Structure 1
Amino acid sequence: MSDTVTIRLAKENMKFSAAHFTIFSASERERLHGHNFRVEVDIDARMLGNGMCFDYGIYKDRVVALCRELNEWTILPTRSMHLRIEEDGAHVFASFDGTRIPFLRSDVLLLPIENATLEEFAAWFLARLGEDRAVLHEHRIDAIEVRVFSGPGQSAGRRARFD
């Protein structure tokens, strides 16, 4: 019998609402729009020998907190090769293909990602959940997979091993 278990965290409160646009090329992007995103996390861990692997309430709380960080923002990627971000006091300007798009600074979350996509959101969650390698080791976590949904039937996932 395997010593490893997969814990799936997919609670109703693991969600965020945000506006974004996806950049397809140097001259093509989506219009600004929003989604009610949902997040699921699979954690592969080794059993402790007492009928459990770890207190996964810790990770439920962490995912909910990360969702709150993204909730109700217009998300702009700071690492895009096609988008230039300028901050000017109360405003943020996103320059794309010769057009300067204004936003209120209070409405914008600048995220260190390449594009505002499901793939990049999943990678962001994964990086944040994997930041403390000592805790992952203590909880005997071998891998984490994060899946972000923009609606039913549409998601992207990213996975990392920590062994």
Structure 2
Amino acid sequence: MAFSPNAFAQELQGKFYRTRRILEARPYSLAGVALKPERLLGNVTPMSCRFSIEVAKDYFNFASAHFLIFANGQREPLHGHNYQVSVGMEGELDQAGVVMDFITFKPLVKRVCDGLDHRTLIQGKSDVIKIHRRPKDIEILYRKQRLLLPRGDVILLPLKNTSTELLAEYLAKQIRRGVQREFPRAKIRYMQVAVDEARGQRGIFRGEF
């Protein structure tokens, strides 16, 4: 008979309630002092079953250039980071007792990261900069400043800024599309993506799947 994680959880819950009924029906004492069932069980409730996985590999990385537009409208200089990515997912176990097979999931995350590698990431939905797409290059205008970049070196992201938080959200959406396409039977509830731009410095996105 195939192992069913959900059926196993239901069986544990049933055993808990049967044990509670037995305790309520029998008197118990400790050192001659009668104990009520509430003293034995308190407000204990059955443990809810929530399962998740997390993958964080050295090759989940991308080296990219970018600049931020701060809340005061100032633009920081164009610079780069060696970004690191980790992904967590919460969901139901399948018949094998796993949320997602690590072996088949890791290549998907790597492909998404590779899509940003060695590129200049530009916030394509910014209200502050103007972007002109030309056959061979991308012209970026900010106040009196002008950046001219080879078109093949630039990725225009559907973001208002290229912060680690928004990059994490972008990657989460790309990974979600890949999971839905390649693993249609996976029952994922939540996903979390963290993007580190330096050691001890990361942006995190967590959302419903």
Q: Is contact 2:90–2:99 with CA below 8 Å preserved after alignment?
A: no
* Displacement of 1:101: 1.3
SS at match of 2:114: helix
Distance (Å, rounded) in 2 between the aligned partners of 1:102 and 1:26: 24
- Name 1:100's counterpart in structure 2: 146
Report the residue type matching 1:145 in the other structure.
Q
Distance (Å, rounded) in 2 between the aligned partners of 1:115 and 1:136: 31
Q: Are residue 149 (structure 1) and residue 163 (structure 2) matched? A: no
- Name 2:25's counterpart in structure 1: none
* Displacement of 1:66: 0.6
Q: Deviation string for 1:37-70 (max 9, x for gaps)?
A: 0000011121224332332333311110011100
* Displacement of 1:136: 6.4
Distance (Å, rounded) in 1 between the aligned partners of 2:63 and 2:70: 22
Q: Show structure 1 runs of 5+ residues with no match.
A: none
How much identity, in percent, do the aligned residues show? 28
SS at match of 1:150: strand
Which structure carries more helix by proportion? Answer: 2
Give the stretch that moved more between structures: 25-34 or 102-111.
25-34
Q: Is contact 1:27–1:97 with CA below 8 Å preserved after alignment?
A: no
- Name 1:11's counterpart in structure 2: 57
* Displacement of 1:77: 1.0
* Displacement of 1:109: 1.3
Q: Deviation string for 1:95-115 (max 9, x for gaps)?
A: 112322111112211111111
- Name 1:120's counterpart in structure 2: 166
Distance (Å, rounded) in 1 between the aligned partners of 2:206 and 2:55: 14
Which structure carries more strand by proportion? Answer: 1
Say how many residue pairs are matched.
Answer: 162
* Displacement of 1:90: 1.2
Say which structure, 1 or 2, has more relative contact order (CA 8 Å, 6+ apart): 1
- Name 2:128's counterpart in structure 1: 82
In our comparison, the structure showing a higher alpha carbon Rg is: 2
- Name 1:53's counterpart in structure 2: 99
TM-score under structure 2 normalisation? 0.71
Q: Is contact 2:52–2:99 with CA below 8 Å preserved after alignment?
A: no
SS at match of 1:70: coil
- Name 1:23's counterpart in structure 2: 69
Distance (Å, rounded) in 2 between the aligned partners of 1:133 and 1:50: 19
